[in-house]
């Protein structure tokens, strides 16, 4: 096989070739670098791209991912490499330590690319347009957004500019861009993967997860990044199963719930059709699919935008020009330095969220907004608990529409917030969820199918996802770049 196509292979395929001695890890890296050099001018999946594409590996350790390059979102700390959350306020910030997921990947022999992937500033957004570096372009249609906030990671995997990538998901930031870019993206259960070294957006919602070209790679990466971590007090001390064991099993008799609240007016008819066809396919594979109700779904978006902004306003208080990144020049005093630094360093969406979050936490409004939102969050969680008593998995569309045009929603925050209507509930409930390709629109844009599972039952999601994937050929269709 000529080296030029190595970048299009999955980690599992590449590991097999490495094992047989058919290729070298150096060849994979060289091939990936030339792909990035060739295509990233159009896609802009990576930020701070210089002539040198560097990276780091610890060499052979336990070798599960020996020699496989991984691309990392700009909000996950990488020792010695810039980690700026695509925000001017963090410009020049280089963490002195690795996030736990990075440590684990290095230990497994993976090669960490020094290049980071583009994202909405501090992960605030659904389109990767809120990046101080400008938007990433969707590899399927360069005029369209990639989704967000982990749009760079999704686009890199879709464009074969990455073998696999890491992103973070607070309200859909892995699943929605995975859907828009036609790749697999998983948000693990809250507590399954350590958040240590992930620059916090909303600490009770954030999770790190993988973007991969297929389900087998997703299971492999989940095996490596999952597990308890003393450095993250919210990480769960629950045994990690071998996720690859869920691959290749049939799904006969499994019970799949289809929530009626997710098939709403305003949903794109082509998305609806693709998802209905996927449900039909799951039925033909032996799953028992029936309608269920998640009655509090309509509150998910408002609850999320109270809880997430409240937490964000508190988490972002540390960026004040003293310890990290930018410091405004020639302030007249300390307060002026804080004001100028934050005024110059944060983008419009970050400012909007800090103001909203501060408001809902403020005296007089705390009970009316924040406390009430927490109560409704519990109701949303209970909806899932109830359904999961009788069902193994829930299947929905990932997003009501396919990728939209760059600029189409950027002046209307409410419209933008509504693109997360199907993904947010999983974060509020803390349950695992995955997006995978389930077809294309007439214009050739990918459509995503979302699978949601019980807390810590990623295995079930992966089992159903793998069975569906193997019965269809979507993953074999690649964007023409
Ligand atoms: N799009 C959502 C938001 O803007 C979710 C972002 C995320 O998951 N980080 O908050």
* Nearest ligand 1 atom to alpha carbon 170: 8
Residue 342 counted as domain residue:
no
Banded model confidence at residue 227, pLDDT cuts 50, 70, 90: very high
Write out the two tokens for 2: 């000529």
The predicted model gives 405-412 an average pLDDT of 92
Q: Helices 348-361 and 300-315 sit at what angle, rounded to 10 degrees?
A: 100
Residue 264 pLDDT: 81
Question: 91 near 121, Cβ under 8 Å?
Answer: no
- What share of the chain in percent tops pLDDT 90? 91
Which of 39, 73, 213, 454 is an active site residue? Answer: 73
Which of 149, 153, 313, 419 is an active site residue? Answer: 149
Residue 308 counted as domain residue:
no
Total number of residues shown for the chain: 481
Residue 51 pLDDT: 66
* Nearest ligand 1 atom to alpha carbon 353: 10
3-class state of residue 440 by DSSP? strand
CA distance 318 to 323: 8
Whether 119 shows a pLDDT value over 70: the answer reads: yes
CA distance 72 to 155: 12
User: Residue of the nearest CA to atom 4 in ligand 1?
Assistant: 125
User: Residue of the nearest CA to atom 10 in ligand 1?
Assistant: 124
The predicted model gives 173-181 an average pLDDT of 98
Banded model confidence at residue 52, pLDDT cuts 50, 70, 90: low
Residue 250 counted as domain residue:
yes
CA distance 123 to 85: 7
Residue 305 alpha carbon to ligand 1 centre in Å: 9
Whether 54 shows a pLDDT value over 80: the answer reads: no
Residue 313 counted as domain residue:
no
73 is catalytic: yes
CA distance 181 to 159: 9
How distant, in Å, are the alpha carbons of 172, 374, 425, 463 from that of 417?
Answer: 11, 19, 13, 31
293 is catalytic: no
From 126, 175, 185, 303, mutation site for ligand 1 pocket: most ligand atoms within 8 A of C-beta: 126
116 is catalytic: no
- What share of the chain in percent tops pLDDT 70? 97
Write out the two tokens for 176: 């929605």
Banded model confidence at residue 61, pLDDT cuts 50, 70, 90: low
The predicted model gives 51-60 an average pLDDT of 66
Please give the tally of structural domains in the chain: 1
CA distance 285 to 280: 9
Question: 215 near 466, Cβ under 8 Å?
Answer: yes
CATH number for 429: 3.90.1300.10
- Of 57-71, 74-88, 93-107, 231-245, the least confident: 57-71
Whether 379 shows a pLDDT value over 60: the answer reads: yes
Residue 12 alpha carbon to ligand 1 centre in Å: 30
| Residues 6 or more apart in contact with residue 34 via CB below 8 angstroms | 4
CA distance 413 to 474: 32
* Nearest ligand 1 atom to alpha carbon 125: 4
Mean pLDDT of the chain: 95
The predicted model gives 273-295 an average pLDDT of 98
Looking at beta carbons, which pairs linking 413-419 to residues 24 or more positions away fall under 8 Å?
A: 413/349, 413/352, 416/125, 416/126, 416/127, 417/126, 417/301, 417/305, 418/301, 419/126, 419/127, 419/147, 419/176
Looking at beta carbons, which pairs linking 359-365 to residues 24 or more positions away fall under 8 Å?
A: 360/306, 360/309, 360/310, 361/310, 361/313, 361/314
Whether 437 shows a pLDDT value over 50: the answer reads: yes
Could you list the beta-strand ranges (E) of 146-302.
Answer: 164-169, 184-187, 207-212, 255-259, 288-292
| Residues 6 or more apart in contact with residue 480 via CB below 8 angstroms | none
Residue 245 alpha carbon to ligand 1 centre in Å: 31
Residue 148 counted as domain residue:
yes
Residue 60 pLDDT: 54
* Nearest ligand 1 atom to alpha carbon 424: 5
Give the model confidence (pLDDT) of 250-281 as tens digits. Answer: 999 999 999 999 998 889 999 999 999 999 99
Residue 29 counted as domain residue:
yes
The predicted model gives 1-21 an average pLDDT of 86
Write out the two tokens for 163: 């073998």
The predicted model gives 142-155 an average pLDDT of 98
Whether 1 shows a pLDDT value over 50: the answer reads: no
62/310: higher pLDDT: 310
Nearest CA to 193 among 233, 229, 155, 142?
Answer: 229
Residue 37 pLDDT: 94
Residues in contact with ligand 1 (CB, 6 Å cut-off): 123-126, 149, 169-173, 201, 308, 420
In this structure, the strands spanning 111-117 and 69-73 are parallel
Residue 349 pLDDT: 96
Residue 351 counted as domain residue:
no
Domain region containing 447: 6-295+380-476
Residue 317 counted as domain residue:
no
DSSP string for 117-159 = E--SGGG--SSS-S-TT-PPPBTTBTTB---SSSHHHHHHHHT
The predicted model gives 237-249 an average pLDDT of 97
478/61: higher pLDDT: 478
């Amino acid at each position: 096989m000529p080296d030029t196509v190595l970048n299009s292979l999955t980690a599992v395929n590449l590991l097999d070739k490495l094992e047989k001695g058919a290729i070298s890890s150096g060849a994979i890296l060289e091939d990936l670098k030339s792909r990035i050099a060739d295509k990233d001018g159009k896609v802009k999946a990576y930020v701070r791209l210089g002539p040198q594409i560097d990276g780091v590996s610890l060499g052979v350790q336990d070798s599960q991912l020996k020699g496989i390059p991984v691309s990392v979102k700009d909000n996950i700390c990488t020792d010695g490499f810039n980690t700026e959350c695509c925000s001017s306020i963090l410009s020049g910030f280089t963490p002195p330590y690795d996030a736990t997921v990075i440590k684990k990947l290095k230990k497994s022999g993976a090669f960490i690319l020094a290049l980071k992937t583009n994202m909405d500033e501090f992960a605030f957004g659904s389109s990767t347009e809120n990046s101080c570096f400008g938007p990433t372009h969707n590899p399927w249609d360069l005029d369209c957004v990639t989704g967000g906030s982990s749009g760079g990671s999704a686009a890199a995997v879709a464009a074969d500019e990455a073998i696999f990538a890491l992103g973070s998901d607070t309200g859909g930031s892995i699943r929605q861009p995975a859907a828009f870019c036609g790749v697999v993206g998983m948000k693990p259960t809250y507590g399954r993967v350590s958040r240590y070294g992930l620059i916090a957006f909303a600490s009770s919602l954030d999770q790190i997860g993988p973007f991969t070209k297929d389900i087998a790679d997703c299971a492999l990466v989940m095996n490596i990044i999952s597990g308890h971590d003393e450095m993250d007090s919210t990480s769960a001390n629950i045994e990690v199963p071998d996720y690859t064991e869920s691959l290749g099993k049939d799904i006969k008799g499994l019970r799949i719930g289809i929530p009626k609240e997710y098939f709403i007016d305003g949903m794109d008819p082509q998305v609806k059709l693709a998802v209905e066809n996927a449900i039909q396919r799951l039925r033909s594979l032996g799953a028992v699919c029936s309608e269920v109700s998640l009655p509090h779904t309509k509150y998910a978006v408002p609850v999320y935008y109270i809880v997430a902004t409240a937490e964000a306003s508190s988490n972002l208080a540390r960026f004040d020009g003293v310890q990290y990144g930018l410091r405004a020049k020639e302030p007249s005093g300390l307060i002026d330095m804080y004001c100028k630094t934050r005024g110059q360093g944060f983008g419009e969406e970050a400012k909007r969220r800090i103001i909203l979050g501060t408001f809902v936490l403020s005296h007089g409004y705390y009970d009316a907004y924040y406390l009430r939102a927490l109560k409704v969050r519990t109701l949303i969680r209970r909806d899932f608990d109830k359904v999961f008593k009788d069902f193994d998995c829930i299947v929905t569309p990932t997003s009501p529409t396919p990728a939209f045009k760059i600029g189409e929603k950027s002046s209307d925050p409410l419209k933008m917030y509504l693109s997360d209507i199907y993904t947010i509930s999983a974060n509020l409930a803390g349950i695992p969820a995955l997006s995978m390709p389930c077809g294309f629109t007439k214009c050739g844009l990918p459509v995503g199918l979302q699978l949601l599972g019980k807390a810590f039952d990623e295995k079930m999601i992966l089992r159903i996802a793998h069975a569906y994937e193997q019965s269809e050929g979507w993953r074999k269709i690649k964007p023409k770049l």
